[in-house]
Structures are given as structure tokens and as C-alpha cells.
A and B are shown apart, each in its own frame.
Chain A
Amino acid sequence: QQPVQSPQAVILREGEDAVINCSSSKALYSVHWYRQKHGEAPVFLMILLKGGEQKGHEKISASFNEKKQQSSLYLTASQLSYSGTYFCGTEKYGGSQGNLIFGKGTKLSVKP
């Protein structure tokens, strides 16, 4: 079952913050976050495995709620290089070796 991402698109000015959400109707084994620039491969940002987990990667961080049904990606003090499409990929319990179902993506545009 495909996770639901919101918003579908967001436009920011440099230095502004954004939150991207990814939700599922069932508890998940893990959530992966990726950023993809046009015509390029998705780039792995981080993986969350535990309910209540929070992880940071410079000014990009993410959380996984206690019920493991929702994850949020936080982008603070955005930079031009943050522009791209952000995908969450979810792994269900009982799935095989990390096979991911991706959300439809959130297109982030950072303007000067």
C-alpha cells in the first residue's frame, strides 16, 4: 500500500524551513527518505527503524512516530541545493529484505 506524502509541492526562499510528511494506514517496519534531482538517481538521506526515533543529517532531520505510521522530514534554513523531489520509501512488516514502496514525492523548490 503506497504511503501518502504531503504536501505535493512546496516553494521556499533560501533560509526558510519546510516539513514533509509521509503516512501509512498500517504500522511500518521502516521509513527511508530520499532526495532526487531531475534526471538523477535518488540519493539516500536516512532510514528510521524505531518508533519515536529522530535522526539528523546536518540541517535535515526526520522523525518516526511511536505507532510507526507516520514520518516527517524537517528541512531547516533551506539552501538552494535542497531543491528536488523528496520521496519516502516504506518497508512493511513481513516484507522481503527492504523492498520499498515509495510515496508520490514532494517537489521542493528553493528560490534565492
Chain B
Amino acid sequence: AAGVIQSPRHLIKEKRETATLKCYPIPRHDTVYWYQQGPGQDPQFLISFYEKMQSDKGSIPDRFSAQQFSDYHSELNMSSLELGDSALYFCASSKTSGSRLGQYFGPGTRLTVT
């Protein structure tokens, strides 16, 4: 079965640089979520999209933005990177219209800011 695809899997950036993370949800899933997970931490919700519209924002810094495109893939744009942005970034997708299903996580992008 198709899974959530994220790219790149690893990314190394310097402070103050920008980064773009991409996510391709499971086909026919209508909702995409972005999470940030620091070492030994629980995943923290950043932002979500339902049918290409932003549906909710969590603890996402103003330096970050995201969007979902017509083909349902999503991109997380991160600017003015800081050392504290180093983390695993997960994208998850779900089908939330009708019966509620679980969220299926992609393999994550490990971002290292030096």
C-alpha cells in the first residue's frame, strides 16, 4: 500500500538559511499535518491542511509557512533557520471526512542546523 512520502530525508543547513520540506500524502487522503519532534520529545503539531485549505495552526513559528497544492502535496518552508530548529519533521496524512481514521506518518525529514 502507498505510504506518505517525504523529501528530502536529511537536510543540513546553516543558521539564517532557508529550507523547504516536501510531503506527498497517501492517495485520497484529504488532510495533511506537519509535526516537529525534537530529540526525546513528543511530536508537536505545527499546521494542518484540509482539502488544500489551512485548517489549524499549532506551535508554528512565524518564520515557517506551509501550503498545500492542487495535487495535494504539501511544502513546509522554513526561513531564518535557528539552531533550535534542528529536529525531525514529520508529515502525516489522514482521511477525515466521513469516518475518522488514524494519521499515517511519513518517514520524516531530519533537519540539522549548524
* Shortest Cβ distance from residue B92 to the other chain A in the assembled complex, whole angstroms: 8
Asked if A96 CB lies within 8 Å of chain B CBs, one says yes
User: How many residue pairs between the two chains, A and B, have CB atoms under 8 Å in the bound complex?
Assistant: 62
Give the docked Cα–Cα distance between A45 and B104 (Å).
Answer: 10
Residue A58 lies at the interface, judged by CB distance under 8 Å to chain B: no
Contact A95 B90 (CB under 8 A): no
Residue-wise interface mask of A (66-95) relative to B, using a CB-CB cutoff of 8 A (1 in contact, 0 not): 000000000000000000000101000001
Q: Which A residues touch B55, using CB under 8 A?
A: 96-97, 99
Interface size on A, residues (CB 8 A): 25
Interchain CB contact under 8 A, B105 and A105: no
The contact string, 1 if C-beta is below 8 Å from chain B, for chain A 96-112, is: 11111111110000000
Q: How many residues on the B side are at the interface (Cβ–Cβ under 8 A)?
A: 23
Identify which of residues 13-42 in chain B touch chain A, using a CB-to-CB cut-off of 8 Å.
31, 33, 42
Interface set, chain B 38-92, CB cutoff 8 A to A? 42-45, 48, 50, 55-56, 58, 90
Are A98 and B94 closer than 8 Å at their CB atoms? yes
Choice from A42, A97, A103, A105 contacting B90 with Cβ under 8 Å: A42
Q: Which residues of A (37-60) have their CB < 8 Å from a CB of B?
A: 40-47, 49
Determine if B7 is an interface residue (Cβ-Cβ < 8 Å). no
Report whether B101 and A41 are in contact in the complex, using a CB–CB cutoff of 8 Å.
Answer: no
Q: In the complex, what residues of B have CB within 8 A of residue A42's CB?
A: 43, 90, 105
Give the contacting residue for A43; candidates B42, B50, B105; CB below 8 A.
Answer: B105
- Listed by A's residue number, 27 A-B pairs whose Cβ atoms lie within 8 Å are A30-B100, A32-B103, A34-B105, A41-B107, A41-B108, A42-B43, A44-B102, A44-B105, A45-B102, A47-B101, A49-B100, A87-B43, A89-B103, A95-B56, A96-B50, A96-B55, A97-B31, A98-B48, A98-B94, A98-B96, A98-B103, A99-B33, A99-B45, A99-B48, A100-B103, A102-B42, A102-B43
| Residues of B participating in the A interface, judged by any CB pair closer than 8 Å | 31, 33, 42-45, 48, 50, 55-56, 58, 90, 94, 96, 100-108
